[in-house]
Amino acid sequence: MDPFSTKRIHPWVSHLPEEVKYEKVVGHGLNAQELARNPRLEYFFVKDLNEDQKFEFEDKSFDAVLCAVGVQYLQQPPADPCYMAMFAPPKV
């Protein structure tokens, strides 16, 4: 199975290698127009994490989580800096 990944915050530029094929890439950001310009995203959603930091995903619903540039935009980062890791299964 190809990796299933999420991409967050940096909407119009992908940090994922072009030569790698993913089953699905989900993006998050604040600007729908910029997210729509990212050709790697199959699906995206707009949400201001300064208003609500809860994601509507089940635990372990992604194989990997990538936060390229985003934590610095949070006015109050989560107390647990590994919060997003709950959405990806642990690697052994």
Query: How confident is the model over 15-64, as pLDDT tens digits?
Result: 788 898 888 889 888 889 988 998 889 989 998 888 888 888 888 888 88
Alpha-helix residue ranges (DSSP H) falling in 1-92 = 32-36
pTM of the model: 0.68
Is 92 among the domain residues?
no
So what's the pLDDT on residue 1? 37
Across 11-18, average pLDDT: 76
Domain total for the chain? 1
As a whole number of angstroms, the distance between CA 30 and CA 33 comes to 9
Across 54-78, average pLDDT: 77
Is 21 among the domain residues?
yes
Closest among 60, 58, 68, 64 to 38, alpha carbons compared:
68
Residue range of the domain that includes 55: 4-87
Is 46 among the domain residues?
yes
Is 29 among the domain residues?
yes
